[in-house]
Structure 1
Amino acid sequence: MDTVDTIKHASGLIARIEYDQDCPQPYEDDDGTRIVILARHYSDPARGACGSTPEDVAEWVKENESDWYIFPLFMFEHSGVALSIADFGDRWDSGQVGIIALKRSEWYDTKTAEDSIRKSAALVAEEFGRWMNGECFGYVIEDEDGGHVDSCWGFIGMDYAMERAQEELERKAEAYQPRTKLADIGEAIAAYRSPDDVGLPIPEQLRLIADRMEEDAPSISMEETGYDENAGFMGGQSADELAHSQAEAMKLKR
Protein backbone atom coordinates (compact mmCIF):
# COMPACT_ATOMS: atom_id res chain seq x y z
CA MET A 1 0.00 0.00 0.00
CA ASP A 2 1.07 3.59 -0.62
CA THR A 3 2.26 5.57 2.39
CA VAL A 4 0.33 8.81 2.80
CA ASP A 5 2.30 10.24 5.73
CA THR A 6 4.96 9.22 8.23
CA ILE A 7 5.45 9.90 11.95
CA LYS A 8 8.95 9.38 13.36
CA HIS A 9 9.63 8.87 17.06
CA ALA A 10 12.88 9.58 18.92
CA SER A 11 13.00 5.92 19.98
CA GLY A 12 13.50 4.89 16.36
CA LEU A 13 9.95 3.65 15.84
CA ILE A 14 8.10 4.85 12.75
CA ALA A 15 4.36 4.99 12.04
CA ARG A 16 3.30 4.91 8.40
CA ILE A 17 -0.19 6.15 7.50
CA GLU A 18 -1.70 4.22 4.60
CA TYR A 19 -5.02 4.11 2.75
CA ASP A 20 -7.47 1.47 3.96
CA GLN A 21 -9.08 -0.05 0.89
CA ASP A 22 -11.35 -2.31 2.95
CA CYS A 23 -12.74 0.12 5.51
CA PRO A 24 -16.25 -1.04 6.50
CA GLN A 25 -19.24 1.24 5.98
CA PRO A 26 -19.83 3.31 9.13
CA TYR A 27 -23.05 2.65 11.07
CA GLU A 28 -23.80 -0.39 8.91
CA ASP A 29 -24.65 -2.53 11.94
CA ASP A 30 -25.93 0.32 14.12
CA ASP A 31 -29.65 -0.14 14.77
CA GLY A 32 -29.83 3.35 16.25
CA THR A 33 -28.58 5.17 13.14
CA ARG A 34 -30.12 5.22 9.68
CA ILE A 35 -28.61 7.06 6.74
CA VAL A 36 -30.95 7.23 3.77
CA ILE A 37 -29.60 8.27 0.36
CA LEU A 38 -31.94 8.19 -2.63
CA ALA A 39 -29.72 9.57 -5.37
CA ARG A 40 -28.73 8.25 -8.76
CA HIS A 41 -25.51 6.27 -8.92
CA TYR A 42 -25.55 5.65 -5.14
CA SER A 43 -26.87 2.71 -3.17
CA ASP A 44 -29.02 3.40 -0.12
CA PRO A 45 -26.99 2.78 3.09
CA ALA A 46 -30.25 2.00 4.93
CA ARG A 47 -31.10 -0.64 2.31
CA GLY A 48 -34.68 0.47 2.03
CA ALA A 49 -35.38 0.32 5.78
CA CYS A 50 -37.10 3.71 5.58
CA GLY A 51 -38.53 3.29 2.08
CA SER A 52 -37.16 3.20 -1.45
CA THR A 53 -38.79 6.36 -2.82
CA PRO A 54 -39.05 9.93 -1.51
CA GLU A 55 -42.77 9.35 -0.88
CA ASP A 56 -42.09 6.18 1.12
CA VAL A 57 -39.44 7.95 3.19
CA ALA A 58 -41.79 10.88 3.90
CA GLU A 59 -44.42 8.42 5.12
CA TRP A 60 -41.86 6.65 7.31
CA VAL A 61 -40.87 9.98 8.86
CA LYS A 62 -44.49 10.76 9.81
CA GLU A 63 -44.96 7.36 11.40
CA ASN A 64 -41.65 7.29 13.32
CA GLU A 65 -40.77 10.87 14.30
CA SER A 66 -41.83 10.21 17.90
CA ASP A 67 -39.10 7.53 18.22
CA TRP A 68 -36.43 9.06 15.99
CA TYR A 69 -34.64 12.40 15.64
CA ILE A 70 -34.85 13.05 11.91
CA PHE A 71 -32.80 15.51 9.84
CA PRO A 72 -32.71 16.22 6.10
CA LEU A 73 -29.54 15.04 4.35
CA PHE A 74 -27.95 17.19 1.65
CA MET A 75 -25.22 16.20 -0.79
CA PHE A 76 -22.71 18.40 -2.60
CA GLU A 77 -21.11 16.58 -5.52
CA HIS A 78 -18.28 18.20 -7.43
CA SER A 79 -14.90 16.44 -7.71
CA GLY A 80 -15.89 14.51 -4.63
CA VAL A 81 -18.80 14.22 -2.23
CA ALA A 82 -19.77 16.14 0.89
CA LEU A 83 -22.76 15.40 3.11
CA SER A 84 -24.46 17.77 5.53
CA ILE A 85 -27.72 18.25 7.40
CA ALA A 86 -27.66 21.90 6.24
CA ASP A 87 -28.38 23.05 2.71
CA PHE A 88 -25.18 23.81 0.75
CA GLY A 89 -26.99 26.55 -1.15
CA ASP A 90 -25.72 25.47 -4.56
CA ARG A 91 -28.61 24.77 -6.93
CA TRP A 92 -26.33 23.19 -9.55
CA ASP A 93 -24.22 20.70 -7.56
CA SER A 94 -26.19 20.12 -4.37
CA GLY A 95 -29.61 19.21 -3.05
CA GLN A 96 -31.44 17.02 -0.57
CA VAL A 97 -30.87 13.33 -1.17
CA GLY A 98 -32.40 11.73 1.92
CA ILE A 99 -32.46 11.82 5.71
CA ILE A 100 -30.42 10.96 8.78
CA ALA A 101 -32.39 9.36 11.61
CA LEU A 102 -31.07 8.86 15.14
CA LYS A 103 -33.10 6.64 17.44
CA ARG A 104 -34.06 8.56 20.55
CA SER A 105 -33.56 5.59 22.89
CA GLU A 106 -30.08 4.95 21.51
CA TRP A 107 -28.71 8.49 21.28
CA TYR A 108 -30.26 10.89 23.77
CA ASP A 109 -33.11 11.21 26.21
CA THR A 110 -35.85 13.79 25.77
CA LYS A 111 -34.06 16.28 28.03
CA THR A 112 -31.02 16.58 25.78
CA ALA A 113 -30.57 19.97 24.18
CA GLU A 114 -31.54 20.11 20.52
CA ASP A 115 -28.17 21.70 19.72
CA SER A 116 -26.29 18.59 20.88
CA ILE A 117 -28.51 16.33 18.81
CA ARG A 118 -27.95 18.43 15.69
CA LYS A 119 -24.18 18.37 16.21
CA SER A 120 -24.24 14.57 16.43
CA ALA A 121 -26.30 14.29 13.25
CA ALA A 122 -23.93 16.69 11.48
CA LEU A 123 -20.93 14.57 12.52
CA VAL A 124 -22.63 11.40 11.26
CA ALA A 125 -23.21 13.07 7.90
CA GLU A 126 -19.63 14.36 7.69
CA GLU A 127 -18.11 10.99 8.59
CA PHE A 128 -20.22 9.11 6.06
CA GLY A 129 -19.27 11.63 3.38
CA ARG A 130 -15.58 11.08 4.11
CA TRP A 131 -16.09 7.33 3.82
CA MET A 132 -17.81 7.80 0.45
CA ASN A 133 -14.78 9.81 -0.71
CA GLY A 134 -12.39 7.04 0.32
CA GLU A 135 -10.83 9.04 3.14
CA CYS A 136 -10.12 5.83 5.04
CA PHE A 137 -6.76 5.07 6.61
CA GLY A 138 -4.76 2.80 8.83
CA TYR A 139 -1.31 2.88 10.40
CA VAL A 140 1.64 0.50 10.52
CA ILE A 141 4.28 0.89 13.24
CA GLU A 142 7.76 -0.46 12.48
CA ASP A 143 11.10 -0.53 14.29
CA GLU A 144 14.40 0.84 12.98
CA ASP A 145 15.00 -2.32 10.94
CA GLY A 146 11.57 -2.26 9.32
CA GLY A 147 10.21 -4.99 11.59
CA HIS A 148 6.47 -5.00 12.22
CA VAL A 149 5.50 -3.72 15.68
CA ASP A 150 1.79 -2.99 15.37
CA SER A 151 -0.94 -1.94 12.93
CA CYS A 152 -4.56 -0.83 13.01
CA TRP A 153 -7.11 0.05 10.32
CA GLY A 154 -10.54 1.53 9.78
CA PHE A 155 -9.96 5.20 10.63
CA ILE A 156 -12.14 7.67 8.71
CA GLY A 157 -10.45 11.04 8.20
CA MET A 158 -6.73 11.78 7.98
CA ASP A 159 -6.59 13.83 11.19
CA TYR A 160 -8.19 11.02 13.19
CA ALA A 161 -5.79 8.44 11.77
CA MET A 162 -2.76 10.65 12.56
CA GLU A 163 -3.99 11.27 16.10
CA ARG A 164 -4.51 7.59 16.87
CA ALA A 165 -1.20 6.61 15.27
CA GLN A 166 0.66 9.20 17.38
CA GLU A 167 -1.00 7.93 20.57
CA GLU A 168 -0.13 4.31 19.84
CA LEU A 169 3.39 5.26 18.78
CA GLU A 170 3.97 6.89 22.18
CA ARG A 171 2.67 3.80 24.00
CA LYS A 172 4.78 1.42 21.96
CA ALA A 173 7.88 3.60 22.41
CA GLU A 174 7.60 3.37 26.20
CA ALA A 175 7.95 -0.40 25.98
CA TYR A 176 10.41 -0.34 23.08
CA GLN A 177 13.09 1.86 24.68
CA PRO A 178 13.69 -0.35 27.75
CA ARG A 179 14.06 -3.37 25.46
CA THR A 180 16.72 -1.48 23.52
CA LYS A 181 18.65 -0.73 26.72
CA LEU A 182 18.42 -4.35 27.83
CA ALA A 183 19.79 -5.45 24.48
CA ASP A 184 22.79 -3.12 24.93
CA ILE A 185 23.46 -4.54 28.40
CA GLY A 186 23.22 -8.07 27.05
CA GLU A 187 25.76 -7.30 24.34
CA ALA A 188 28.18 -5.83 26.89
CA ILE A 189 27.92 -8.91 29.13
CA ALA A 190 28.44 -11.25 26.18
CA ALA A 191 31.56 -9.30 25.11
CA TYR A 192 33.28 -9.70 28.48
CA ARG A 193 32.09 -13.18 29.37
CA SER A 194 34.65 -16.00 29.38
CA PRO A 195 34.08 -19.70 28.66
CA ASP A 196 35.61 -20.33 32.10
CA ASP A 197 32.61 -18.59 33.68
CA VAL A 198 30.25 -21.38 32.66
CA GLY A 199 29.02 -23.31 35.69
CA LEU A 200 29.80 -20.55 38.18
CA PRO A 201 27.00 -18.94 40.21
CA ILE A 202 25.45 -15.97 38.36
CA PRO A 203 26.61 -13.38 40.96
CA GLU A 204 30.19 -14.66 40.61
CA GLN A 205 29.97 -14.49 36.80
CA LEU A 206 28.77 -10.89 36.97
CA ARG A 207 31.59 -9.96 39.37
CA LEU A 208 34.20 -11.40 37.02
CA ILE A 209 32.65 -9.62 34.04
CA ALA A 210 32.67 -6.32 35.97
CA ASP A 211 36.36 -6.85 36.85
CA ARG A 212 37.27 -7.41 33.20
CA MET A 213 35.36 -4.30 32.17
CA GLU A 214 37.21 -2.27 34.79
CA GLU A 215 40.58 -3.64 33.68
CA ASP A 216 39.72 -2.73 30.10
CA ALA A 217 39.06 0.90 31.04
CA PRO A 218 41.81 3.18 29.56
CA SER A 219 44.17 4.89 31.98
CA ILE A 220 43.98 8.67 32.37
CA SER A 221 47.01 10.90 32.80
CA MET A 222 47.24 13.30 35.74
CA GLU A 223 46.92 16.26 33.36
CA GLU A 224 43.73 14.84 31.86
CA THR A 225 42.15 14.52 35.31
CA GLY A 226 42.63 18.22 36.05
CA TYR A 227 44.62 17.46 39.20
CA ASP A 228 45.93 20.39 41.24
CA GLU A 229 48.27 19.91 44.21
CA ASN A 230 46.30 22.35 46.33
CA ALA A 231 42.73 21.71 45.13
CA GLY A 232 42.99 17.98 44.38
CA PHE A 233 40.97 16.49 41.54
CA MET A 234 38.29 18.46 39.76
CA GLY A 235 34.96 18.10 41.53
CA GLY A 236 36.74 17.32 44.82
CA GLN A 237 37.14 13.60 44.04
CA SER A 238 39.96 11.57 45.51
CA ALA A 239 42.10 9.37 43.27
CA ASP A 240 40.18 6.26 44.35
CA GLU A 241 36.83 7.98 43.77
CA LEU A 242 37.89 9.10 40.31
CA ALA A 243 39.04 5.62 39.36
CA HIS A 244 35.77 4.19 40.56
CA SER A 245 33.78 6.79 38.60
CA GLN A 246 35.82 6.02 35.49
CA ALA A 247 35.04 2.33 35.78
CA GLU A 248 31.35 2.99 36.24
CA ALA A 249 31.32 5.28 33.23
CA MET A 250 32.92 2.57 31.10
CA LYS A 251 30.22 0.14 32.19
CA LEU A 252 27.52 2.53 31.05
CA LYS A 253 29.36 3.32 27.82
CA ARG A 254 29.56 -0.30 26.83
Structure 2
Amino acid sequence: VRTATDLLATISDSPRLDAELLMAHALGVSRSDMLLRAMRDPAPDSFDALVARRAGHEPVAYITGSTEFYGLELQVSPSVLIPRGDSEALIDAACEHFVDRAPPQRILDLGTGSGALLLAALSLWPQAEGVAIDASMSALRQAHCNATKLGMAERCTFLRRSWRKGGWQRDLGRFDLVLCNPPYVEDDATLDPQVREFEPSSALFAGPEGLDDYEILLPQTGDLLSEDGIAIFEIGATQQNVLADLVTKHELESAFRNDLAGLPRAMIILAKKHGGVGKAAGRR
Protein backbone atom coordinates (compact mmCIF):
# COMPACT_ATOMS: atom_id res chain seq x y z
CA VAL A 1 0.00 0.00 0.00
CA ARG A 2 2.83 2.41 0.80
CA THR A 3 4.57 1.65 -2.49
CA ALA A 4 1.35 2.16 -4.44
CA THR A 5 0.68 5.41 -2.59
CA ASP A 6 4.06 6.77 -3.65
CA LEU A 7 3.44 5.72 -7.25
CA LEU A 8 -0.02 7.30 -7.41
CA ALA A 9 0.99 10.57 -5.73
CA THR A 10 1.80 12.12 -9.11
CA ILE A 11 -1.65 11.53 -10.61
CA SER A 12 -4.08 11.51 -7.69
CA ASP A 13 -5.17 13.96 -4.99
CA SER A 14 -5.85 11.01 -2.68
CA PRO A 15 -3.15 8.42 -3.42
CA ARG A 16 -3.31 6.64 -0.06
CA LEU A 17 -7.07 6.26 -0.23
CA ASP A 18 -6.82 5.04 -3.82
CA ALA A 19 -4.21 2.45 -2.85
CA GLU A 20 -6.28 1.22 0.08
CA LEU A 21 -9.45 0.91 -2.00
CA LEU A 22 -7.61 -1.00 -4.70
CA MET A 23 -6.01 -3.34 -2.17
CA ALA A 24 -9.33 -4.01 -0.49
CA HIS A 25 -10.83 -4.77 -3.91
CA ALA A 26 -7.97 -7.14 -4.70
CA LEU A 27 -8.50 -8.90 -1.37
CA GLY A 28 -12.27 -9.06 -1.83
CA VAL A 29 -13.03 -7.30 1.45
CA SER A 30 -14.20 -3.87 2.53
CA ARG A 31 -11.62 -1.16 3.15
CA SER A 32 -12.47 -1.07 6.84
CA ASP A 33 -12.06 -4.83 7.17
CA MET A 34 -8.75 -4.65 5.37
CA LEU A 35 -7.45 -1.91 7.66
CA LEU A 36 -8.58 -3.77 10.76
CA ARG A 37 -7.68 -7.35 9.89
CA ALA A 38 -5.64 -7.79 6.74
CA MET A 39 -2.77 -5.29 6.67
CA ARG A 40 -0.24 -8.01 7.45
CA ASP A 41 -1.55 -10.36 4.77
CA PRO A 42 0.46 -10.93 1.58
CA ALA A 43 -0.51 -8.62 -1.26
CA PRO A 44 -2.51 -10.54 -3.89
CA ASP A 45 -0.97 -10.92 -7.33
CA SER A 46 -3.79 -8.91 -8.91
CA PHE A 47 -2.94 -5.73 -6.99
CA ASP A 48 -0.12 -4.51 -9.24
CA ALA A 49 -2.35 -4.61 -12.32
CA LEU A 50 -5.00 -2.56 -10.53
CA VAL A 51 -2.44 0.06 -9.52
CA ALA A 52 -1.15 0.21 -13.08
CA ARG A 53 -4.65 0.97 -14.33
CA ARG A 54 -5.00 3.76 -11.77
CA ALA A 55 -1.57 5.11 -12.72
CA GLY A 56 -2.98 5.42 -16.24
CA HIS A 57 -5.64 7.79 -14.82
CA GLU A 58 -8.48 5.26 -14.84
CA PRO A 59 -10.87 6.20 -12.00
CA VAL A 60 -10.87 3.96 -8.95
CA ALA A 61 -14.66 3.56 -9.17
CA TYR A 62 -14.40 2.08 -12.67
CA ILE A 63 -11.61 -0.26 -11.58
CA THR A 64 -13.50 -1.55 -8.55
CA GLY A 65 -16.93 -1.27 -10.19
CA SER A 66 -18.53 0.56 -7.28
CA THR A 67 -18.70 3.81 -5.36
CA GLU A 68 -20.67 5.35 -2.51
CA PHE A 69 -23.28 8.08 -2.83
CA TYR A 70 -25.39 9.44 0.03
CA GLY A 71 -24.66 6.32 2.07
CA LEU A 72 -25.62 3.94 -0.76
CA GLU A 73 -23.18 1.53 -2.39
CA LEU A 74 -23.69 1.82 -6.16
CA GLN A 75 -22.30 -0.19 -9.02
CA VAL A 76 -20.78 1.92 -11.79
CA SER A 77 -19.21 1.34 -15.18
CA PRO A 78 -17.78 3.53 -17.95
CA SER A 79 -21.31 3.84 -19.37
CA VAL A 80 -22.28 6.24 -16.55
CA LEU A 81 -20.78 9.21 -14.76
CA ILE A 82 -19.26 8.43 -11.39
CA PRO A 83 -21.54 9.92 -8.69
CA ARG A 84 -19.68 12.58 -6.71
CA GLY A 85 -20.11 14.14 -3.32
CA ASP A 86 -20.88 17.51 -4.96
CA SER A 87 -24.14 16.06 -6.28
CA GLU A 88 -25.29 15.28 -2.74
CA ALA A 89 -26.09 19.00 -2.49
CA LEU A 90 -29.17 18.30 -4.63
CA ILE A 91 -30.48 15.75 -2.13
CA ASP A 92 -29.71 18.08 0.77
CA ALA A 93 -31.65 20.85 -0.98
CA ALA A 94 -34.61 18.53 -1.46
CA CYS A 95 -34.53 17.58 2.23
CA GLU A 96 -34.58 21.25 3.20
CA HIS A 97 -37.52 21.97 0.92
CA PHE A 98 -39.68 19.13 2.20
CA VAL A 99 -38.81 19.48 5.88
CA ASP A 100 -42.03 21.39 6.59
CA ARG A 101 -44.10 20.05 3.68
CA ALA A 102 -45.76 16.78 2.79
CA PRO A 103 -43.10 14.35 1.53
CA PRO A 104 -42.85 13.78 -2.23
CA GLN A 105 -44.94 11.00 -3.73
CA ARG A 106 -43.58 11.06 -7.29
CA ILE A 107 -39.92 11.72 -8.14
CA LEU A 108 -38.39 12.14 -11.60
CA ASP A 109 -34.69 11.73 -12.36
CA LEU A 110 -33.71 13.28 -15.69
CA GLY A 111 -30.60 11.61 -17.13
CA THR A 112 -30.41 9.05 -14.35
CA GLY A 113 -27.04 7.47 -15.20
CA SER A 114 -26.25 5.13 -12.30
CA GLY A 115 -29.54 6.05 -10.63
CA ALA A 116 -27.70 7.82 -7.80
CA LEU A 117 -30.01 10.81 -7.37
CA LEU A 118 -33.27 8.89 -7.67
CA LEU A 119 -32.19 6.05 -5.39
CA ALA A 120 -30.87 8.44 -2.76
CA ALA A 121 -34.21 10.27 -2.78
CA LEU A 122 -36.21 7.04 -2.62
CA SER A 123 -34.11 5.89 0.32
CA LEU A 124 -35.17 9.04 2.21
CA TRP A 125 -38.86 8.92 1.27
CA PRO A 126 -39.94 5.27 1.34
CA GLN A 127 -43.51 6.11 0.36
CA ALA A 128 -42.40 7.66 -2.94
CA GLU A 129 -42.20 6.14 -6.40
CA GLY A 130 -39.72 7.19 -9.04
CA VAL A 131 -39.34 7.53 -12.79
CA ALA A 132 -35.87 7.53 -14.33
CA ILE A 133 -35.17 8.52 -17.90
CA ASP A 134 -31.95 8.34 -19.87
CA ALA A 135 -31.00 8.34 -23.54
CA SER A 136 -28.52 5.50 -22.92
CA MET A 137 -29.84 1.96 -22.60
CA SER A 138 -26.61 0.85 -20.90
CA ALA A 139 -27.10 3.58 -18.30
CA LEU A 140 -30.67 2.45 -17.70
CA ARG A 141 -29.48 -1.11 -17.21
CA GLN A 142 -26.93 0.13 -14.68
CA ALA A 143 -29.57 2.14 -12.81
CA HIS A 144 -31.98 -0.81 -12.79
CA CYS A 145 -29.22 -3.05 -11.45
CA ASN A 146 -28.58 -0.64 -8.60
CA ALA A 147 -32.28 -0.30 -7.85
CA THR A 148 -32.60 -4.09 -7.71
CA LYS A 149 -29.56 -4.45 -5.49
CA LEU A 150 -30.97 -1.86 -3.06
CA GLY A 151 -34.46 -3.37 -3.05
CA MET A 152 -36.10 -0.40 -4.78
CA ALA A 153 -36.74 -1.74 -8.28
CA GLU A 154 -40.48 -2.20 -7.67
CA ARG A 155 -40.74 1.51 -6.87
CA CYS A 156 -38.97 2.62 -10.08
CA THR A 157 -39.91 2.93 -13.73
CA PHE A 158 -37.04 3.18 -16.21
CA LEU A 159 -37.63 4.79 -19.60
CA ARG A 160 -35.29 5.31 -22.53
CA ARG A 161 -35.93 8.88 -23.60
CA SER A 162 -33.87 11.85 -24.70
CA TRP A 163 -34.92 15.40 -23.91
CA ARG A 164 -33.19 16.39 -27.12
CA LYS A 165 -35.98 14.70 -29.07
CA GLY A 166 -39.56 15.89 -29.25
CA GLY A 167 -42.25 14.09 -27.29
CA TRP A 168 -39.97 12.90 -24.51
CA GLN A 169 -42.43 14.13 -21.84
CA ARG A 170 -45.37 12.09 -23.13
CA ASP A 171 -47.32 10.26 -20.43
CA LEU A 172 -44.88 11.23 -17.70
CA GLY A 173 -47.37 13.31 -15.74
CA ARG A 174 -46.35 15.67 -12.94
CA PHE A 175 -43.91 15.23 -10.11
CA ASP A 176 -43.39 16.55 -6.61
CA LEU A 177 -39.61 16.41 -7.08
CA VAL A 178 -37.56 16.56 -10.26
CA LEU A 179 -33.83 15.90 -10.02
CA CYS A 180 -31.34 16.41 -12.81
CA ASN A 181 -27.59 16.39 -13.25
CA PRO A 182 -27.39 17.40 -16.93
CA PRO A 183 -24.27 17.84 -19.01
CA TYR A 184 -22.93 21.30 -18.20
CA VAL A 185 -19.24 21.33 -19.14
CA GLU A 186 -18.03 23.68 -21.88
CA ASP A 187 -16.84 21.84 -24.97
CA ASP A 188 -13.28 23.21 -24.70
CA ALA A 189 -12.98 22.97 -20.91
CA THR A 190 -9.78 21.58 -19.43
CA LEU A 191 -10.62 18.47 -17.45
CA ASP A 192 -8.61 16.01 -15.41
CA PRO A 193 -7.54 13.09 -17.65
CA GLN A 194 -9.46 10.64 -15.46
CA VAL A 195 -12.65 12.51 -16.39
CA ARG A 196 -12.05 13.48 -20.02
CA GLU A 197 -10.52 10.14 -21.07
CA PHE A 198 -12.78 7.74 -19.18
CA GLU A 199 -16.20 9.18 -18.33
CA PRO A 200 -18.92 9.35 -21.02
CA SER A 201 -18.60 12.59 -22.99
CA SER A 202 -22.34 12.65 -23.72
CA ALA A 203 -22.96 13.15 -19.99
CA LEU A 204 -20.32 15.87 -19.64
CA PHE A 205 -20.31 18.35 -22.51
CA ALA A 206 -23.10 20.79 -23.39
CA GLY A 207 -21.94 23.24 -26.03
CA PRO A 208 -19.50 26.16 -26.00
CA GLU A 209 -20.90 27.62 -22.76
CA GLY A 210 -22.12 24.42 -21.15
CA LEU A 211 -25.73 25.63 -21.33
CA ASP A 212 -27.26 23.66 -24.19
CA ASP A 213 -29.21 21.22 -22.04
CA TYR A 214 -30.48 23.88 -19.64
CA GLU A 215 -31.79 25.79 -22.67
CA ILE A 216 -33.80 22.70 -23.63
CA LEU A 217 -34.99 21.65 -20.18
CA LEU A 218 -35.88 24.89 -18.41
CA PRO A 219 -38.75 25.92 -20.75
CA GLN A 220 -40.36 22.51 -20.11
CA THR A 221 -39.72 22.24 -16.38
CA GLY A 222 -42.92 23.91 -15.24
CA ASP A 223 -45.02 21.32 -17.09
CA LEU A 224 -43.38 18.54 -15.09
CA LEU A 225 -44.13 19.95 -11.64
CA SER A 226 -47.11 19.28 -9.43
CA GLU A 227 -48.75 22.23 -7.68
CA ASP A 228 -46.18 22.23 -4.87
CA GLY A 229 -43.43 20.55 -6.87
CA ILE A 230 -39.80 21.56 -7.07
CA ALA A 231 -37.01 20.88 -9.56
CA ILE A 232 -33.35 20.77 -8.57
CA PHE A 233 -30.59 20.87 -11.16
CA GLU A 234 -26.87 20.44 -10.66
CA ILE A 235 -24.86 23.35 -12.08
CA GLY A 236 -21.26 24.26 -12.69
CA ALA A 237 -19.59 26.35 -10.01
CA THR A 238 -19.38 29.45 -12.27
CA GLN A 239 -22.85 29.22 -13.83
CA GLN A 240 -25.08 30.65 -11.10
CA ASN A 241 -25.59 34.15 -12.51
CA VAL A 242 -26.18 33.19 -16.12
CA LEU A 243 -28.58 30.41 -15.11
CA ALA A 244 -30.48 32.70 -12.75
CA ASP A 245 -31.08 35.01 -15.71
CA LEU A 246 -32.11 32.08 -17.89
CA VAL A 247 -34.60 30.85 -15.29
CA THR A 248 -36.16 34.33 -15.05
CA LYS A 249 -36.43 34.45 -18.83
CA HIS A 250 -38.63 31.37 -18.68
CA GLU A 251 -40.85 32.84 -15.93
CA LEU A 252 -39.55 30.59 -13.20
CA GLU A 253 -37.99 31.39 -9.84
CA SER A 254 -34.54 30.23 -8.78
CA ALA A 255 -32.57 29.70 -5.61
CA PHE A 256 -29.16 28.13 -5.15
CA ARG A 257 -27.53 25.85 -2.62
CA ASN A 258 -23.79 25.51 -2.15
CA ASP A 259 -21.88 22.25 -1.95
CA LEU A 260 -19.52 21.41 0.90
CA ALA A 261 -16.75 23.39 -0.81
CA GLY A 262 -18.93 26.51 -0.65
CA LEU A 263 -19.53 26.60 -4.41
CA PRO A 264 -22.97 26.98 -6.02
CA ARG A 265 -24.04 23.48 -6.98
CA ALA A 266 -27.82 23.03 -6.75
CA MET A 267 -30.24 25.24 -8.68
CA ILE A 268 -33.73 25.07 -7.21
CA ILE A 269 -36.63 26.12 -9.41
CA LEU A 270 -40.41 26.06 -9.59
CA ALA A 271 -43.04 27.97 -11.48
CA LYS A 272 -43.92 31.38 -10.06
CA LYS A 273 -47.59 30.45 -10.02
CA HIS A 274 -46.77 27.92 -7.30
CA GLY A 275 -45.81 30.63 -4.85
CA GLY A 276 -42.03 30.70 -4.50
CA VAL A 277 -39.25 28.37 -3.53
CA GLY A 278 -39.71 28.62 0.22
CA LYS A 279 -37.51 29.85 3.01
CA ALA A 280 -35.56 26.60 3.43
CA ALA A 281 -34.28 26.76 -0.12
CA GLY A 282 -33.49 30.46 -0.33
CA ARG A 283 -30.71 31.97 -2.40
CA ARG A 284 -27.24 31.33 -0.95
TM bucket by the smaller chain? under 0.3
Greater relative contact order, per chain length (Cα 8 Å cut-off, separation 6+):
1
Q: TM-score, normalised by structure 1?
A: 0.22
Larger Rg over CA atoms: 1
Q: TM-score, normalised by structure 2?
A: 0.20
